[in-house]
Structure 1
Amino acid sequence: MTDLADLVARSLDPATRETFDSRVREQTDFLYQQFETGALDNDGFAIGLEMEVYAVAGEPGSGGGPVLPTEQSRLHQIPGSIFEDTDAVSKELGLHNAEINTDPNTFDSAGLDAQSTAIEMETAKARAAAGEENCALVLDAMWTIPPDPATVEYLSATTDIDGVRLATNMRTDPRYVAIDNDLLERADGSIELSVPGVEQSFPSILVESLATSIQPHLQIPQSAAFPEYYNVAIRTMGPLVALASNSPFLPADLYTDVDDPFELIERTHHELRIAVFEQSVNVTENPKVRVPEDLDTVTEVVDRVREDDVVAPFLSDWLDTGGGAEYTDNYWEFEHKRGTYWRWVRCVIGGDPVEGAGDERSVRIEYRPLPTQPTVPDVVGLQALTAGLIRGLVAAEHPLADLPWHAAESSFYAAARDGLDADLAWLTADGERTTDPDEIFAEIFEYAEYGLDVQGIDERTAASYLDPIRTRWRTGRTPSGWKKARVREHLHDGIDLPTAIERMQREYIRRSRETESFAEWI
């Protein structure tokens, strides 16, 4: 722990900030040169995915079957062995969190199939590794069954290590701890959470670990075209969040002062994940989690990171960074700073080589507003929808990018609040402004199909990925809507709100393991 405390203290030293800023400025010059010479251009489009999960306690099934959640399962720490048994699983902020990643593939039929297979296999491997420790991984956007002893105690437990505050249930990664200490100091020692039904303070940004997300990636082969794809992506967030919404409730024991639970169900956001993430870390002078501004040129992605508020700077010589073998070692401090550039859409420079689509020098969109879904096919369906839609809108020269930025921003937050009932903003292919959901979602799927077709994915294959998500639009039911309905039904049966939320959550966990996709729940 002494090394941890030392690294955190060095990170928060004003002298480190000066050196860090100087290196970031030097590295932005390198990146400008990379863009100017076309070094970041590639042969084709590529796709990838990150998926966050959380864990609950489990027990072996009958006859020694796989470890499954039980009716008594609560939030559980993920054992360290899971990160040793599979390279595709990485640690996240909370001890109960993990992230499952796919290697990137070409954006074509074979690549999309490979993504689906990879996320299915890696999830199965991760679940098997977790099961060795009687732990079950859950695909969900918000854990709502409280841990022992209770949520506030769990998220508030801290200890001091050589003058550094450490959240007990946070990973002891120096970067996480430094970010927590830096942001907490800026917040005067308290992170405030205010959403319908809950007003609560926490002594750590660990409250952010309530939420889990999926993050599709789309590599753009010609870097000069990146702004066009990026600006279109911003304008798709409202409708896609509405379709994906999956986090209408916080942990049940946080609802201690609700006079009318039925009214709470109406008022609570379909995507509380958005509010939780923004409120847990938006304590700097300029909010770090927000809808990004449009780009005019690709080099602006460098400018935005350089000018962003610095949080918990680290220097490459403090750590074993690979000795210069990786392309990103050319801009290590810049990349470290980008790690806290938490916009809902952001650019990633560099990455893994993709045969047929380029080398490790690339630019890609990281699409961050989507919650983790109930099943792997739901996750891959949203990945296909997101990548196909962004590609299709640009390929068809759709005028969506002409939608005013403020309308796109309002549409995003409306979707987070109201799901499919949100007042969404859109421009049709004819350039007409509309809020008609039938027009909007008809074009969403039309242009996603077009984008997949442009990338060589046939109609039947495209339908196999998109139809489970399309069913949500046709039925008007999303995972968040299902959760609200189930809690409402339990309340009508005379059950109190916390118990109703827990019962809903246990049914969600069971169904997410027993069904192919959420479409079967409707």
Structure 2
Amino acid sequence: MGRAISREAFDETDLATSARRLREDLTELARVLVAPGFGQVPPTVGAELEFFLSSRAGRPVFRADAVRTAVADRRLAPEVSQCDLELNLTPLPLAGAPFSAMSHEIDEMLDRVAREPAALGARAVPIGSLPSLTPDDLGPSALTALPRFLALERSMADRRPTPFTVALPGPEGRSLRCESIAVQGAACSWQVHLTVPPDALVRTYDAAQLATGPVLSACGNSSLVLGRRLWHEGRVPLYERGFGDRAARRPSRVAFGGVGTSGRAYDLFAEPALSHPVLLPASSPAGASRRHPHSGLPLLDELRVHLSTVWRWNRPVYDPAGHLRIEFRALPSGPTATDMAANTAFLVGLTARLAADPGVRAELSPEHAAANFYGAARSGPDARLWWPSGRGGGPDRHPARVLVPGLLPYAAEGLDLLGVDPREAGRLLDTIGRRVITGMTGAVWQQRRLSAQERHADRTTALRRVTAEYAELSAGGAPVHTWPCPERRLTLRPTGPKHDKER
């Protein structure tokens, strides 16, 4: 999202200049969005995988810079904390079998992280929150010492007192006093990018908002956060409350967001851009070109950097290479490459089918979409989600265990619209179905394994053992619904709400 930040501190003149350039970039964006031919590219999918570094004993390892140096691959990028890294996957055409290729690239890269810097004692663990992390692990000393993160630390400190309090809800909810944005190092996501033509951006964004809740209910993987049992996706409140700037008269910088009811792609960029003050000026070098070297399109650096500091769970992305994307930010990292490929297929397929179905979109409001998102984050497969009943008269609430299997054929239709090989789609959506039948998401597995370990050990030891066991199973590659776990239970395959193809 924009040019790298090269400075750690900005004065009022910098911020005023940035605000002016931001308005200029929005004016330029409005022209680009209606330019003939802009954004007319074949649909592609890409992703960013955030993951943790852990020792064989299940302890976090704070050597991200050393691991990046040892692996020496441009696809690895730094993250906010020294116990996290990000893998930027190769974008792929959706036609064919993109999710299998995505899964293979993940396995290859995570294996390199584990193998090449073996002397560092670190291995890659894709999980929403590393169970063995503690609040003391994520103070200022854990912050990655790069200008972007140091500048964010300064800018956030100017907008709220330090230390600041982060309230984490859940069965063992707690309030944390935090001294650094490094606390966000406790949250790792699987962020999916889907290219979308400008004339389809609003309806696809609306569809993404509606799809996120049901998909998230089936793929929670962040239930043990900083030593406590929290929501199935405890990463969600941690991120929202850790990066929110708490300004009383404006929306939070981290939020689910609304639905693009105006019908204008421009407004999906302008609303978040104008709702928040600038945290990080783009600080482009004097005399630098403001055009992309190949497409000739404006870089819009100020806009892109600014929107990278407004953390909506789904957000539009302008790429000066010549297209628009929707970035889906709500899914957790892990448990395995197969699980993430399946989650992506379900999310992209359901979004594509909803984008082509104005009937379903008309029946579900922004409030329904937000309620589904937070309900899924809180309760996972046990959430009750709003969805059209198929009988008319408005939506009903359905148990996620019932709703999700009924949506899988619908998502398959969406993948077919995008040209995905039916065998690829069927295999991955079957993984989601089996996960729902067994009730075994990564979040459920973590909770049950912790209970089993605590029969024989204290909480700290139990959390490290759960982390080590998870890392071994994740590296094995088998999807999470097949992992050994105490108190496994099978449920009958439910029948979900039907969808009329003619709708």
Partner of 1:226, secondary structure, is helix
Q: 1:216 aligns with which of 192, 206, 211?
A: 192
Partner of residue 501, structure 2: none
Where 2:192 maps in the other structure, the secondary structure is strand
Task: Provide TM-score, normalisation by structure 1.
Answer: 0.84
Partner of residue 198, structure 1: 174
Name the structure 1 match of 2:215.
240
Higher share in helix: 1
Q: CA contact under 8 A between 1:247 and 1:271: conserved in structure 2? A: yes
Q: Which SS does the other structure have where 2:256 is aligned?
A: coil
- 1:155-194 alignment runs, 5 A limit: 155-156=138-139, 167-194=140-167
> Alpha-carbon deviation of 1:460?
2.3
Letter of the 1:208 partner, please give it. Q
The residue aligned with 1:366 is 327
Contact 2:46/2:89, CA 8 A, preserved across alignment: yes
Larger deviation: 307-316 or 178-187? Answer: 307-316
Secondary structure of 1:380's partner?
helix
Distance across 2 between alignment mates of 1:423 and 1:178: 41
Answering whether residue 411 of structure 2 is matched by residue 448 of structure 1, we say yes
Q: What amino acid is the match of 2:136?
A: E
Q: Is the 8 A contact 1:189 1:203 kept in 2?
A: yes
1:76 aligns with 2:59: no
Q: Deviations over 1:439-483 (max 9, x none)?
A: 521332112111122223343221222222221211222111111
Q: Specify whether residues 103 and 340 from structure 1 end up closer, same or farther in structure 2 by C-alpha distance, changes over 3 A only.
A: same
Letter aligned with residue 200 of structure 1: L
Residue 223 of structure 1 deviates from its aligned partner by 0.8
Partner of 1:251: 226
Equivalent residue runs for 1:140-159 within 5 Å: 140-146=127-133, 151-156=134-139
Contact 2:212 2:347 in 1 (8 A): no
Quick one: which of 253, 275, 282 aligns to 1:308?
A: 275
Q: SS where residue 424 of structure 1 aligns?
A: strand
Q: Could you tell me which residue of structure 2 aligns to residue 32 of structure 1?
A: 30
- Given the alignment, which residue of 309, 312, 329 partners 1:343? 312
User: What do the CA deviations read for 1:462-508 (whole angstroms, capped 9, x no partner)?
Assistant: 122222222121122211111111222233x2533333333222211
* Number of the residue aligned with 1:117: 104
Displacement of 1:100 after TM fit? 0.7
DSSP-derived class of the 2:128 partner = coil
Shifted more, 410-419 versus 302-311: the winner is: 302-311
Counterpart in the other structure of 1:136: 123
Q: 1:293 to 1:5 in 2, by over 3 A?
A: closer
- What's the secondary structure of 2:312's corresponding residue? coil
In the aligned structure 1, how far is the partner of 2:20 from the partner of 2:137? 39
C-alpha displacement of 1:300: 0.6
Query: Contact 2:363/2:395 (CA < 8 Å) preserved in 1?
Result: no
Q: Please, what TM-score do these two structures have when normalized by structure 2?
A: 0.87
Local SS of the residue matching 2:377: helix
1-structure distance, mates of 2:286, 2:143: 20
Say what the alpha-carbon RMSD is for the aligned residues.
Answer: 2.5
Q: Tell me the equivalent position of 1:488.
A: 451
Which residue identity is paired with 2:83?
Answer: H
Instruction: State, as a whole percentage, how many aligned pairs show the same letter.
Output: 24
C-alpha separation between the residues in 1 aligned to 2:406 and 2:288? 45
Q: Per the alignment, in what secondary structure is the counterpart of residue 465 of structure 1? A: helix
Letter in 1 for 2:276: D
Q: Does 2:361 match 1:392?
A: no
Is this contact kept in 2: 1:95–1:171, CA < 8 A? yes
Q: Distance in 2 between matches of 1:284 and 1:102?
A: 34
C-alpha deviation, 1:8, in angstroms: 2.4
Q: Where does structure 2 lack aligned partners over 5 or more consecutive residues?
A: 485-503
Q: Please, which moves more after superposition, 326-335 or 131-140?
A: 326-335
- Preserved CA contact (<8 Å) 1:289 1:343: yes
SS at match of 2:120: coil
Taking the aligned partners of 1:371 and 1:342, their CA distance within structure 2 comes to 15
Matched residue pairs, number? Answer: 468
Asked if 1:435 corresponds to 2:397, the answer is yes
